[in-house]
Structure 1
Amino acid sequence: MTVINALGNQYYLYIKKGQKPVAWDIYDTKPPIEFSLTTYFGQVFQAIEKSSLISGLVFYVTWNEIDELPSYGQNVVVFVLGDEWYRIPKYTHKVRAVFKCVGTNSILGCNPFLQPSLLNLLTLIQFLRILVVGVPGWVNYHWHKFKNLILGLGKITPIYDIPLGYHNSKNLPIKNIESRLYDTYFSGSVVHREYPIWSLKSWLGTPKALSRKIMISTLNKFQKKHPQFKVELSITGGYHNRTSEDERSYCEIMMDTKICVVPRGTSFETTRLFEGMKYGCILVTESLPSRWYLDGIPVIKIKDWQELPGILKTLLENKELMAEMHQKSLNWWQDKCSESIVGEYIIAKLLREFPVNLEINLDPP
């Protein structure tokens, strides 16, 4: 395996068990294999390297592999970017630290009993499935915590939450909110997977699909009722299917958008939230989980997308409020979610695990 020696730490992209990890030069804009979110996390890791505060670690970056790794030890740090089942990796007790997008604690995000609806029923079913799927990892994690406590082996490292960031957001000049062309914009998938005829999902849908259908229907009605406002909609197969031209167009339109609607994906937390924030859009979202980078976030949260027309009209008729929220969105990105801030957060957590500057002899996988 080729090891990149110019870096203080070693970085590997790891797809799934049974496959060899692929060495990743984090300064290379085109990773050796197709892997989502590397644009954002490449810069996060560059901030870590620039600090020179930690060195000698093996960083495994995986999408949703939670069962096993190529190697373990106190020099191994894992980043799980795409596990939307909120699972606790089985190997947590074998490594120095685990950083996880989306986290390990799901939220219901609605009250299906006081506010009964098909969407809330599907949300409850999905929430319960996530709890069931997460039981083995939870039991394994807490068993090892208990065993370490009884045997005096020390604490197992916590699992740290980190933001999803963006897929391939371009660095564009920030446009003044008043001069932006589109009042609101959504580009994304509604249903990106076909389910077999015998699946309940093919008949009832999923929380993501139903939520987005309601949102799009509401936006279309808003546009007809208020033709003076510019609403831009583009239904796609999802960001995994975007071409480089699609990416450029998406970023340019997002920068030209005043209000970014952020419907849920499979989870409530999506890359769109961070893409819109980075560009200073005013964000209208559904429920969001409690995370260090989301608590207090300057967004407008709604329980039902049918509330959206009133919110859009109120915002678009209040230029001062929009300018204020635009700046708050930019500030939140810079102070909480930007690549350098997340890099500092990771460094702080690793230095807490390692009380002195890290100098570990590497045993490459």
Structure 2
Amino acid sequence: MRGPNRYYRCLGYREEPEVMELTRPPARPSYLHRVLQIVERELEGMGLTFFVTWKLDVLPAYGNHVVAIVMGDEWSQIPAYVDRVLVTFKCYGIYPQLAARPLRKPSRLNTLLLLRHLRVLAHWLPGALRYSGRLLQGWLRGKSLPPIYDLPLGYGNQQALPVLPIEERPIDVFFAGSVAQGFPRRFWSPYRWFPSPKRLARLRMLQVLETLQQRDPDLQIFVHTNARFVLNALEYGLTKPGEVLDTEAYSQTLMRSKICLAPRGTSADTFRLFEGLRYGCVVISDRLPRRWFYREAPVIQIDDWQELHTLIPALLRNTQRMRQLQQEALRWWQTVASEEAIGRWMARCIRRRLSEISTASSEAVPV
């Protein structure tokens, strides 16, 4: 017997699941909240239970009515409970991908990315072996495991604003975000010799922007850096006044920008990439992993932030190219990554799995 769908957040190991009231507007703009509103519209009355979680080992409940939505794992691990739920949607993927070309484009950054990739593989391997064993058992029994789908991050700190034509935007280049500060003084510290790829990529990017500004004082570059992950700082009140851009300031400034720089963080997936494309900016990023939603994304991917020396001036001189990229960005957002598109896609995935279970059950009933 079907009934109302239920939605919960369970983001900590000691807290009880928190009920998500989809009819109430969230305190800050929330991509997932709006996506789930679309899912609810499409699947109303199906009796499903949705858990939005960071946990990879345990959920409050299991069964063919449970949908897991995993938000925070940047190690691309496979949740232990994937075979005990209806379907799993997961940000940051389930297969580690080296979003770099260390052999074709050797550099210090790409070498560090390769080393981090090996570390990620070490975390990923135990769960992958466990999952492979379950796949084999299911195949021998003639049963398929519940699917796992890559879920885009979407926006994290952004209002819905009218889109400005790119030629009317006064800011040429935009970056706002955290940069790991400081440098280990101890000679033997591994972080002195092997800094995080995030730190190296973003500091390299900022050095290039400084050089571009010196070369062309009329270039309008907006940079706002801080030492905290902005979403956590805003969510938990960990920030001091002016330390990070609040949602309104961030949104207004990004909408007034032509080019949005989206360097990698701990992983290659970043909220800023989606935010830039949503606003019709020209987005430049590091190499991206091979996820289904990135296939047609109009993102300019580079191997080294030194490429900005020639790339940014060339783009700003080519108004027609900038307009084309803006239109492609807005089209991609609406058709691939918008709340409406992702909500309807999730609903289709869930319906497909329910249909598979129903068909398997009917075939198992003796005539």
Task: Return the TM-score normalized by structure 1.
Answer: 0.89
Higher mean alpha-carbon deviation, 207-216 vs 228-237, is at 228-237
Counterpart of 2:158 (choices 169, 185, 193) is: 169
Q: Is the 8 A contact 2:4 2:44 kept in 1?
A: no
C-alpha deviation, 1:309, in angstroms: 2.0
Q: Which runs of 5+ in 1 are unaligned?
A: 1-6, 32-36, 359-365
The aligned counterpart of 2:69 is 79
CA distance in 1, matches of 2:191, 2:98: 19
Structure 1 residue 199: Cα displacement: 4.7
- Deviation of the 1:108 alpha carbon: 1.6
**Alignment match of 2:40 (pick from 41, 44, 49):** 49
Equivalent in the alignment of 2:229: 238
Aligned partner of 2:285 in structure 1 is 285
Identity %: 37
Question: Are 2:127 and 1:137 equivalent residues in the alignment?
Answer: yes
1:107 aligns with 2:97: yes
Give the SS at the match of 1:69: coil
Out of 290-299 and 266-275, give the one that drifted further: 290-299
2:171 alignment partner AA:
Y
- Structure 2: 5+ residue runs without aligned partners? 359-367
Shift of 1:193: 9.6
Counterpart for residue 59 of structure 1: 50
Moved more, 197-206 or 176-185: 197-206
Does residue 179 (structure 1) correspond to residue 175 (structure 2)? The answer is no
The answer to whether the 8 A contact 2:73-2:92 is kept is yes
> Alpha-carbon deviation of 1:350?
0.6
The residue aligned with 2:147 is: 158
Q: Does 1:223 align with 2:219?
A: no
CA pair 178-219 structure 1, distance change in 2 beyond 3 A: same
Corresponding residue of 2:344: 344
54 and 192 in structure 1: CA distance in 2 versus 1, 3 angstrom threshold: farther
Query: Corresponding residue for 1:274?
Result: 274
Instruction: Kindly indicate whether the alpha-carbon contact (under 8 Å) linking 1:17 and 1:67 is maintained by their aligned counterparts in 2.
Output: no
What is the match of residue 4 of structure 1? none
Q: Which amino acid aligns with 2:223?
A: L
- Aligned with 1:105: secondary structure? coil
> Could you give the per-residue CA deviations for residues 141-160 of structure 1, whole angstroms, max 9, x where no partner exists?
111111122234x1101210
3-state DSSP class of the match of 1:350?
helix
User: In structure 1, what is the equivalent of residue 113 of structure 2?
Assistant: 123
Alpha-carbon distance in structure 1 between the residues aligned to 2:127 and 2:356: 31
Aligned to 2:361: none
1:76 aligned partner, one-letter code: V
Residue 26 of structure 1 and its aligned partner are, at CA, apart by: 2.1
Contact 2:101 2:303 in 1 (8 A): no
Mapped contact 1:8–1:49 kept (Cα < 8 A)? no
Cα pair 1:13 1:23 within 8 Å, conserved: yes
* Residue of structure 2 equivalent to 1:206: 196
CA spacing shift, 1:157–1:335, aligned 2, 3 Å? same
Q: Is the contact between residue 6 and residue 48 of structure 2 (CA under 8 Å) also seen in structure 1? A: yes
The separation in 2 between residues aligned to 1:20 and 1:192, in whole angstroms, is 35
CA distance in 2, matches of 1:141, 1:353: 19
Q: What one-letter code is carried by the residue in structure 1 that aligns with 2:279?
A: Y
Distance in 1, matches of 2:204 and 2:99, equals 17
Q: Distance in 1 between matches of 2:161 and 2:185?
A: 42
Q: Which residue of 1 aligns with 2:85?
A: 95
- Whole-Å separation in 2 of the counterparts to 1:111 and 1:67: 33
CA distance in structure 2 between the partners assigned to 1:107 and 1:195 by the alignment: 29
Contact 2:91 2:151 in 1 (8 A): yes
CA distance in 2, matches of 1:158, 1:224: 52
Report the Cα distance in structure 1 between the residues aligned to 2:17 and 2:37, rounded to whole angstroms. Answer: 20
1:258 is paired with a residue of what secondary structure?
A: strand
Partner deviation per Cα, 1:166-201 (whole Å, 9 max, x = no partner) = 113101111111111100110011117998966522
Aligned residues: 345
- Quick one: distance in 1 between partners of 2:194 and 2:351? 48
Asked whether the 8 Å contact 1:351–1:357 carries over to 2, the reply is no
* Cα distance, 1:195–1:95 mapped onto 2, change above 3 Å: farther
Do the aligned partners of 2:198 and 2:266 also contact (CA within 8 Å) in 1?
Answer: yes
1:202 and 1:345 map into 2 onto residues whose CA distance is: 45
In 2, Cα distance between equivalents of 1:20 and 1:143: 32
Instruction: Classify 1:54/1:182 alpha carbon distance in 2 versus 1 (closer, same or farther; 3 Å).
Output: farther
Pair 1:195–1:42, CA change in 2 (3 A) = farther
C-alpha RMSD over aligned residues:
2.3
Shift of 1:222: 0.6
